[in-house]
Structure formats: C-alpha cells, structure tokens
Amino acid sequence: MGFTRREFLKAGIAGAVLAASGLYLFRRLVRPRWLEKTFIAKVSDYQADLAAAILTGLRELGMSAEVIKGKRILLKPNLVETNPRSIHINTHPLVVRGAAEAFLKSGASQVLVAEGPGHCRDTLRVFEESGLSDVLWEDRIPFIDLNYQDGYALPNAGRFSRLTSLTFPATLRQVDLIVSLAKLKTHHWAGVTLSMKNLFGVMPGSYYGWPKNVLHYAGIESAILDITATLRPHLAIVDGIVGMEGDGPIMGDPKPVGALVMGRNFPAVDATCARIMRINPDRVNYLRQSETYLGPIQEADIMQVGETIASVATEFKLLEQIPAHRGLRL
C-alpha cells in the first residue's frame, strides 16, 4: 500500500518531532548532573553599599572569611573603550571598589586589579579615562596591565578550537583566586558577553594581537570555552546595575537592570544573566556547548539564592540585522 501526499507529510513531521525529542533526551541523559548556586542582589544604583551586597553573595556561595583569609585576589573588570559618560560600556569603578572592599574585609592578604583590553593598545589610557584609576588610587589597590606581560603556556583543556595551548600572563600564577568582574551586555558576535567572554581580557595582546585576533580566528565561541576550561577561574560577579543592550559590546545602549549576579560556576552565572536579559541560554551557542562538562545552564540544575530572576528580569533589545541575535529571545 502506498502513502498519500498528506500521509507522507504527516509522517515526516512526526519523525522530525520524535528526532528533536530524542536529541533533547539524549543531551539530558549524557550530560553531567549539576547543582550549582547563583546569587542575585538587587542594587538600585552605583551609590548603594556594593561591598555589603557582595559580602552577602560571598557568604551565600560558601566563600566565607575562612576560605578567603590570607588569599591573594585578582579582580578582572571589563575595560573596553574610554568614554567617561558611558557607564554601560565598562565594569563600573564602584563595583570594582565594592568587590575589593568585600575581599579585604573577608581577610584577603592582597587585592589586585588586572586587565588586558582588546580594542585599545594603550591600557593606561583606558584605565585612566574609565575612572577606575581614581578609585584604585584612593584605595591603594594596584593595577596590572596584562597585555604586555611575559606569559606561561598551558595545554588547551577545552579543545573546542584548534589551539593546542593557551598562553596566560605571569600574574595569574601568582594569585590564589581569579574573579571575573563582567558587565551585563549583548554582543555583536557571541550573542551575549558575560563572565566567560570577559576572560578574553586575561589573554596578553602581545601574544594574541588586537583585538585578540588569534582568538577571533580560532573562533570566538570556541575560544571562550577553551579559556574557561583551561584557566578555571574561581568566581564571577556581573555588573548588571546598568547593562548594555543592542549592538554590544561597545555600540549598544544603556539598559538599567539594578542587579549584581554572582556565582562560582561560570556557565550557571551566565545562563542566569541571560534569563535576566530575557534571552534563552540554550540558544547561545557557547553556553549550550559549555553544558557538556563546564557547568549547567538549565534552571533545574541551578540553585537560585538571593533575589529571583523574575524580580529583576528586564528584556534587552536584540537586533534582527545581527545574526548572533536571531532566535535568542526567551
């Protein structure tokens, strides 16, 4: 007996649905079982007590004074371009100050701030014009330019790209905890830029070029995964008090959200941030791939503490003319 055209189409649609369901179930079965914690704090503006909010987050995440005491902490903010009037481009200097205060109050032996901007070769210019230099000078916190340091190589633990090894600046071997102080932004090429993408700034420009061209040629999304897997940073704090929507990470518009997001697992933090932006993390390629062994992105696998996602959720503008933005809406 033959099929009619209608029956054939129905059978094809049913088969496609079953295949998609099977792929989803397969991914759920083969991926590791996770349960990671992410903390959200409501923060009305940059004049709030940011150190207190971050201290609460540290306690909620199990990073008590006993864990931090005597440790050397490296804070890695997101410094991209210099425009003092555009607080949505860089991690706000007062968030950096709040994090430094929180760690010092918890007994850290030293706090360093370090960055290797990808767009501007003159790191000190970005450092000064962003307003961060004034804050760190007042607080006597040292700043380190990661772009021109001697590097040390590690085997590429991610192997998502063709890079066999990754070169990191020497300072990273001299600290105990690496903290990604990211900004809540959409991104022209990767969809979103959060705690994982912020790690591009630890890769020395003297080795990787500007704007870290070697990593771009290797594939931005693959490089994000490789760096996270190889470096294994310890904590993410995302400045979502004022984020950036639209054509980020530089040309977008300010988007007030009023939140700080923190966590020890980077995919979990970035998935939570995506949901706050009303973006589906399962449709961000590098986040979906990170679930294989870096960390969870499904809500059921992330223990939310502090505020709820719904209480701070703010829909970020996505641009149809940007391919990386298409289909991301939650």
> What pLDDT is attached to residue 118?
83
CB-facing half-sphere around the CA of 206: CA atoms within 13 A: 13
> What pLDDT is attached to residue 108?
98
pLDDT in tens, the chain (330 residues): 455 655 555 555 555 544 545 544 545 555 677 899 999 999 999 999 999 999 999 999 999 999 999 999 999 999 987 765 678 999 999 999 999 999 999 999 999 999 999 877 788 888 988 899 999 999 999 999 999 999 999 999 999 999 999 999 999 999 999 999 999 999 999 999 999 999 999 999 999 998 899 999 999 999 999 999 999 999 999 999 999 999 999 999 999 999 999 999 999 999 999 999 999 999 999 999 999 889 999 999 999 999 999 999 999 999 999 999 999 999
Measured CA to CA, the distance from residue 224 to residue 231 in angstroms comes to 11
Helix (H, G, I), strand (E, B) or coil at 138: helix
Q: What burial letters (b/e) apply to 190-202, b meaning 16+ CB within 10 Å? A: bbbbbbbbbbbbb
The CB-based long-range contact list for 292-295 (8 Å cut-off, 24+ gap) reads 292/31, 293/32, 293/229, 294/225, 294/228, 294/229, 294/265, 294/266, 294/267, 295/34, 295/36, 295/265, 295/266, 295/267, 295/268
Other Cβ atoms closer than 10 A to 39: 25
The pTM of the full predicted model, rounded to 2 decimals, is 0.90
Report, at the CATH architecture level, how domain 34-325 is classified: 3-Layer(aba) Sandwich (3.40)
> What pLDDT is attached to residue 121?
79
Measured CA to CA, the distance from residue 195 to residue 238 in angstroms comes to 7
> What pLDDT is attached to residue 28?
52
Helix (H, G, I), strand (E, B) or coil at 303: strand
β strands within 223-327, DSSP E: 235-245, 253-263, 302-306
User: Which of 114, 118, 77 shows the shortest CA–CA distance to 95?
Assistant: 77
> What pLDDT is attached to residue 175?
98
CB 278 within 8 A of CB 255: no
> What pLDDT is attached to residue 203?
97
> What pLDDT is attached to residue 125?
86
> What pLDDT is attached to residue 10?
59
- Angle, CA of 189, 193 and 197, to the nearest 5°: 95
Strands 235-245 and 253-263: antiparallel
Helix (H, G, I), strand (E, B) or coil at 260: strand
User: Which of 192, 210, 224 shows the shortest CA–CA distance to 118?
Assistant: 210
Strand partners, 302: 36
**Among the residues of 174-284, which ranges form H helices?**
205-208, 213-218, 220-231, 266-276
Find the helix or strand (DSSP H, E) in which 38 lies.
strand 36-42
List Cα–Cα distances, 199 to 6, 25, 47, 73, 183, in angstroms.
52, 32, 27, 15, 12
Measured CA to CA, the distance from residue 270 to residue 289 in angstroms comes to 13
Query: Where in the chain are the domains?
Result: 1-30, 34-325
Measured CA to CA, the distance from residue 32 to residue 293 in angstroms comes to 7
Q: What six digits make up the tokens of 289?
A: 């791939």
